[in-house]
Amino acid sequence: MHTGGPAAATHLRTLCFIRDGDRLLLLRRNKPPNRGLYNAPGGKLEPHEDPYEACLREVHEETGLRLPAARLRALLTVITRTTGERWLLFVFAAEKPPGTPDAAATDEGALRWVPLAEVPALPVVSDIPLILPHLFRDDAGVLVGKIYCDTDDADSMTGYDLRNA
């Protein structure tokens, strides 16, 4: 367990869950962390960006899709026990723009439109089943909370505390 020493890093990241009817666009990651697991497109904030700008940029870079809008649906703090590092995740949801072609694979991994009912059967990042029911509900606020992991890989989740804000 991480104790003492200099303050551990805080990583700022975005995720964007894109829906097309009853399908969700997921990326099977080629790179660590979470190599081999499905997750939403997203990535790190650049120094000049706010989370919304980073979300739209990352979606375009990883999928080729240009989203006209996205909604902030969750703000999650992932705390890593072994390093003390934190990952602050700004989680957005969006609809696939009408008339745009399906996204293609990128260096980040293979993209796949997955029927929502099939998502639980895939090897997904462990927080997806926790947040997915919340992402596209119109009556819900922003989900806020902490996810505790043993390592930087999300499949090492040891607990969580989530609530609507």
Beta bridge partners of 47: none
pLDDT tens readout for residues 76-86: 999 999 989 99
Once rounded to an integer, what is the mean pLDDT over residues 119-142?
A: 90
Look up the pTM and report it: 0.90
Name which of 90, 9, 112 is nearest 44 in CA terms: 90
List Cα–Cα distances, 50 to 17, 70, 103, 135, in angstroms: 18, 13, 24, 20
| DSSP states of 22-61 | TEEEEEEESSSSSTT-EE-SEEEPPTT--HHHHHHHHHHH
Domain ranges (residues) in the chain: 10-164
Is 70 exceeded by the pLDDT of residue 2?
A: no
C-alpha to C-alpha distance for 112 and 156, rounded to whole angstroms = 24
CA 143 to chain centre: 13
145 has a pLDDT exceeding 90: yes
Residue 16: pLDDT band (50, 70, 90) is very high
Residue 21 pLDDT level (bands cut at 50, 70, 90): very high
- Architecture of the structural domain at 10-164: Alpha-Beta Complex (3.90)
The pLDDT of 131-144, averaged and rounded, is 90
pLDDT tens-digit readout, 85-117? 999 999 999 999 988 777 666 777 889 999 999
- In angstroms, rounded to a whole number, what is the distance separating the alpha carbons of residues 154 and 11? 14
Residue 57 has pLDDT above 80, yes or no: yes
- The residue-averaged pLDDT of 137-142 equals 86
**Cis peptide bond prior to 97, omega within 30° of 0:** no
